[in-house]
Amino acid sequence: MNRRFRFIFIRRLPILCTILLYAQVSIAQLRASVVKKDITPTDAQMLLGYDARRSTGVHDPIFHRIVALDDGNSQFFLVSSDICEISPSLYDEVAAMLYTRFKISPLNFWWTVTHTHSAPEVGSPGLELVFLGDRYEHTIDSNYTALVVQKLVEGIAEAREKLVPARLGVGWGFSQANINRRAIDTDGKASLGLNPDGPVDRRIGLLRLDKADGSPLVLIANYPVHGTVLGKKSLEISGDVPGIVSEYVEQKIGVPMLFINGAAGDLAPIYSVYPDPVSGHLNQFKVLLGDKIIEANKKIASANNKVKIITRSLLIETPRKPGLGWTDELGKYTTTKAGVHMVKLPVYFLKLTDDITIWSAPIELFCEVGSKIRDRSPFSFTFYFGYSNGWLGYLPSEDQWKYGGYEVNTASPYTPSAERDLTEPVVSYLQGELRCSGTVNKQ
């Protein structure tokens, strides 16, 4: 009886969505803007990624890149920063600051990081203090964190003032710049390396905003890859693959590009952990990935100014790894139920048109999990923005737990059930409420 009820409900869902479509009000003209703020430090900084180490110089500058969207009713702000990761507590602090100053809802402020391992530490270690406490015997530079936050807030303010009529285009590309990094040995155990037989996601998701006259305003490229061409012996500040590729594409197309990392938890660049940019072929990623982005961008044929900003969130609870400690600053991200410690994992959604939706989470998601969710989504263009609004560790696919390895044994707070605990609610939300919410009239 219950199965029959669920079947009938699902069969009638498209009819319900159709009814809701005709109930929508007219959509205002889309406006958008982009701002780029330099956050390169002028002094030596402790770099995040690998062991604790201090920078000796700058190979390439690092930035905040900020896009603002305004549909006439709501504003949305997307930030991509050339840093490794931030604690959810820092995101919460900045989100509260933006709400106080500009009345921007936290739902409408997404702060993503490119995950370069050659950028300075920003803010408190968060969950990393639980996993890798030994690397934090030094004091975090609060002055640099304050600079990063100041530049972000200034950028948001500037973006609000620069809004112009815009149109949104979307497309897919493909690049073989990444590879699975979980090498499986004869003992059946995983270690950090290269695995050409492992799962991989090589799609590039593209969103392009054009001005009313058709000229480009900004490009957003979504691709999963660790920022680890440069290894722990490299002491120069760098945006690594995301930063190098962004600067290259910007030079070629004449407007800023936000690099948004995807489900890169088990994906490395095809050249990884080299001691310097030359031996790591860092410049080659301009061809391997940058040219592929440019090529895909040229194929975006049409743009739409009928955009409605719809933001939603889910709070997913999944068991915490037995015996794992926690940090007080992340108290709001854990709870206890029936004696079991749980991780409270926030998931955010952004729907822009009937075809385009984005979901995000503060995790390093394995690529196969992201691909499965995309394949089950009813939206033609479903993008996952990883490393968003903080970092709560790796979330591996269920079948990878038996191999162990760094992402499973060291830097994940989850259990094997986490994939299902995340996937089913996200897919259900995409197929149900989000599909029906605020359907855009394209006429």
pLDDT in tens, the chain (443 residues): 333 333 333 333 444 454 444 334 455 789 999 999 999 999 999 999 999 999 999 999 999 999 999 999 999 999 999 999 999 999 999 999 999 999 999 999 999 999 999 999 999 999 999 999 889 999 999 999 999 999 999 999 999 999 999 999 999 999 999 999 999 999 999 999 999 999 999 999 999 999 999 999 999 999 999 999 999 999 999 999 999 999 999 999 999 999 999 999 999 999 999 999 999 999 999 999 999 999 999 999 778 888 999 999 999 999 999 999 999 999 999 999 999 999 999 999 999 999 999 999 999 999 999 999 999 999 999 999 999 999 999 999 999 999 999 999 999 999 999 999 999 999 999 999 999 887 554 43
For 44, 158, 233, 291, the CA distances from 204, given in Å and listed in that order, are 34, 29, 30, 12
Closest CA to 231 of 363, 391, 116: 116
What is the Cα–Cα distance from 345 to 347, expressed in whole angstroms? 7
What is the Cα–Cα distance from 148 to 129, expressed in whole angstroms? 21
* pLDDT at position 439: 56
For 95, 361, 410, the CA distances from 316, given in Å and listed in that order, are 20, 10, 22
What is the Cα–Cα distance from 86 to 95, expressed in whole angstroms? 13
Domain boundaries, the chain: 310-436
For 123, 193, 238, 291, the CA distances from 234, given in Å and listed in that order, are 22, 18, 10, 26
Per DSSP, the residues of 24-43 read PPPPPPPEEEEEEEE---SS
For 28, 160, 321, 338, 418, the CA distances from 222, given in Å and listed in that order, are 27, 24, 30, 39, 24
Contact between 169 and 303 (Cβ < 8 Å) = yes
Contact between 116 and 243 (Cβ < 8 Å) = yes
What is the Cα–Cα distance from 17 to 67, expressed in whole angstroms? 30
What is the Cα–Cα distance from 427 to 440, expressed in whole angstroms? 21
Closest CA to 275 of 223, 226, 238: 238
Bridge partners of residue 171, in order along the sequence: 206
What is the Cα–Cα distance from 89 to 427, expressed in whole angstroms? 27
164 contacts: CB under 8 Å, gap ≥ 6 = 31, 32, 33, 211, 212, 217
Number of H helices, E strands in the chain: 10, 23
Closest CA to 77 of 389, 365, 303, 313: 389
Helix axes 418-431, 367-376, angle to 10 degrees: 30
* pLDDT at position 27: 59
